[in-house]
Structure 1
Amino acid sequence: MRTQRDIYGNLNNEVLHQANKGVTINEIHNVYQPPKSLQQQWAAHSYHGSEEHNSRAVINRYLGYWDANPATLIPLSPRDSAPLYVEMMGGAAKIMAKGKELHDQGKYREAMEILNKLVYAEPTNQAAKDLLADVFEQIGYQKESPSVRNSFLAAAYELRSGIPGGASPKSSGPDTIRAMSTDLWLDFLGIRLDSKKAEGMKFVVNIVTPDNCEKFVVEMSNCVLTNIKGVQAKKPDLTITINRSDLEPVMMGTVTLDDQIATGKAKLDGDRKPYDQLKGVLVQFTPDFEMMPGTKAAQPTSPPAMSPFQQQEPGSSAGM
């Protein structure tokens, strides 16, 4: 217990000590080290976190993500900056040769620095991706923290083989969605909103769920969908009345809201247009976006066949 207390105390205090000496969020992971007395105790090792990650997190908590250098305030995206570096370094052949040399010398982080630029500049260059994967693998093997190690090894796999195909894993079931609060569901609809398609839309909708006595006002304004619990607009464009128990199968996708309207379990009062507009601007997410360039399948995954208001099963954050 004392070791746990001291490692987190040292992490917090020493990182802030270094920050007060001018060490930035982009440097602290190369500067912070626990004292030897803690390094020698297994309970202070990086089995469930990492010094590199957590030291940066401390600075981010107190000072934010920016290191105060204007050059890093609005940097180019990697796909835009990488071609400049590759051109100035003399092209892919020279970078590959130097990267292989650094790899063979065991200077993996130096090799990673230049090869990552090449892969972003040339995402179809499989030789470059394979060499960067070799580098990631060696760095991963050296890491004690499972989360850090797996980050490198997973990226190495995807660089060599692409993003794994098949169905996305499901870590929850209908009970999880049923347990979601209505306002949380409405919040997620706001996240799923395609703001480009919602340009110019403006409406106010009241939602009433009589069986649990909840009321919401939902507003579309400036391409943003917001909701307030316990409030009703005096002059809404539309009022939707549906029992929470009848809304849950809509959230789970076993029926559509239109089905509930047709059977009388949901009632629309006012102008139906906002309801139809909202249905048309909601998107379903697919988890096949790439984190490393050139790893996504040539044929993108189609969005799942889901009704507009269906809530996709959230992933588990339990760490199991």
Structure 2
Amino acid sequence: IDGVTFEFIDAAGTEAPAEFMFYLPDFNALCTAEVATATFHNALTLRGAKVRDLLEWSRVIDYVLTEYGERSDVVFASHHWPTFGQENVETFLRGQRDIYRYTHDQTVRRANRGETQFEIAEDLAEPTVQSEHFDTRGYYGTLNHNAKAVYQGYFGWWDGVPATFNAHPLEAKASRFIKAVGGEDAALAIGQEAFDEGDYRWAAEVLNYAVFANPENQAARDWLAASYEQMGFQAESGAWRDFYLTGAQELRNGLADAGAVRTRSREFVEGGPTIELFNALAVRYAPEKLSRDPFELNFRFTDTDEDFVIDVGNATAFPRPGVQSEGAVATLTLSRDAFNDLILQTRSFREIAAAGEAKVEGDPTALLAWFTALETPDFWFNVVEP
């Protein structure tokens, strides 16, 4: 590339579904992208995602260790500092490989002997590769939540205890807990006692019940916020610290009132295949908002030469590519570019039609019924209270 020789290394299925590293032979330099950085990464991002495969992750790092370790004078990544010196490069890669493999293997070993994800996360010992090397420590991902992620990846969310299989949701559980301990004042006293003893985890759990049972209990909110702050101050992981301190901030000040947040870029929408755009709309479909009997809609995109049917029913709005329905109540013909404008709400359908860029055959109220049933969720929502 522009006179520089690259050797690309497939790392798919590790930190991301599609990922690669590369080696620069002219410079004896290895780039490990997001796969090996100067910290322990997340097997499951706390913001929410699919579980990553730590077994494959360790295999990919072992591959670059054996293939490029002896040939690399420096290893650098997309984040954090580089590592210089061939011996240091190998030590770095071996440590990165081992922390991912250790977490995977020891979680599965313990699960196979009947331990739950919570027992494993609580008791999994820190290996020497973490205690002796800063670049494998849990500044981001942690042994605790990564072990739970490995467990979840193999066994799912349930810990096998029948009582937890169909437990009450938190708000319903909270009111029952408060009643069981003798009321809000009693729960608050338990939480304060735990706080004074430095048992902030138990204080947070008890006080969280109090807040979910009665979000207007200011004393419970303040003590829970204080517990979160203490847990945040003690967290090694920046992610854990941020979640705790954000929780405390919301308890003290309420949700951020930043208005609407734009999360959709035109480039992102344009880059997505049309079927995936319809799939994205399908997960916004609120069937209870459908104002008429089920029907089918045809879509024809003039610039991409694509046909679609949307089967709008009482439960789903199912997109079917490559076909048109003879029984469709309406057919919308327009360009994909104009449809992007509709999705991004940069132009209304009326404006697009007035510009001669869209044509409706059949019943236009059916299109309106489908659009009306598409939900746009609020960006901000409660987390630390009901």
Q: TM-score, with normalisation over the residues of structure 1?
A: 0.86
Contact kept in structure 1, 2:330 and 2:361, CA below 8 Å: yes
Q: Which residue number corresponds to residue 180 of structure 2?
A: 88
Unaligned stretches of 5+ in structure 1?
295-320
> What is the correspondence of 1:240-251 to structure 2 with a 5 Å cutoff?
240-251=332-343
Give the aligned residue type for 1:230.
G
Q: Does 1:292 align with 2:376?
A: no
Q: Does 1:20 align with 2:112?
A: yes
Work out which of the residue numbers 231, 237, 244 in structure 1 matches 2:329. Answer: 237
Give the aligned residue type for 1:22.
G
When the two chains are superposed, the root-mean-square deviation of aligned CA atoms in Å is 1.9
Q: Does 1:97 align with 2:189?
A: yes
After superposition, the C-alpha distances for 1:290-310 in whole angstroms (9 at most, x for unaligned) are 01116xxxxxxxxxxxxxxxx
Q: Which residue number corresponds to residue 103 of structure 2?
A: 11
Q: Does 1:129 align with 2:221?
A: yes
After superposition, the C-alpha distances for 1:10-61 in whole angstroms (9 at most, x for unaligned) are 0000000110111112332212233234322112111231222111111111
Per-residue deviation, 1:171: 5.5
- Farther off after superposition, 155-164 or 187-196: 187-196
Q: Which residue number corresponds to residue 139 of structure 1?
A: 231
> What is the correspondence of 1:175-194 to structure 2 with a 5 Å cutoff?
175-194=267-286
Work out which of the residue numbers 322, 345, 355 in structure 2 matches 1:253. Answer: 345
Task: Count residues in correspondence.
Answer: 294
Contact kept in structure 2, 1:200 and 1:222, CA below 8 Å: no
In 2, Cα distance between equivalents of 1:110 and 1:244:
54
Q: CA 1:201/1:51 → structure 2, altered by over 3 Å: closer, same or farther?
A: farther
- Deviating 4+ runs (over 4 angstroms): none
Per-residue deviation, 1:155: 0.3
> What is the correspondence of 1:17-166 to structure 2 with a 5 Å cutoff?
17-166=109-258
Contact kept in structure 1, 2:229 and 2:244, CA below 8 Å: yes
Secondary structure class of the residue paired with 2:167: coil
Per-residue deviation, 1:76: 0.7
Contact kept in structure 1, 2:129 and 2:136, CA below 8 Å: no
Secondary structure class of the residue paired with 1:58: helix
User: Quick check: which has more Rg, 1 or 2?
Assistant: 2
Q: Does 1:206 align with 2:298?
A: yes
After superposition, the C-alpha distances for 1:130-161 in whole angstroms (9 at most, x for unaligned) are 10111111111111111111111100110111
Higher relative contact order (CA 8 A, sep 6+): 1
Contact kept in structure 2, 1:50 and 1:148, CA below 8 Å: no
Contact kept in structure 1, 2:181 and 2:187, CA below 8 Å: yes
Unaligned stretches of 5+ in structure 2?
1-92
Secondary structure class of the residue paired with 1:288: coil
Q: CA 1:199/1:223 → structure 2, altered by over 3 Å: closer, same or farther?
A: farther
In 1, Cα distance between equivalents of 2:304 and 2:372:
28
Secondary structure class of the residue paired with 2:288: coil
In 2, Cα distance between equivalents of 1:190 and 1:156:
35
In 2, Cα distance between equivalents of 1:70 and 1:291:
26
In 2, Cα distance between equivalents of 1:171 and 1:32:
38
Per-residue deviation, 1:213: 1.4
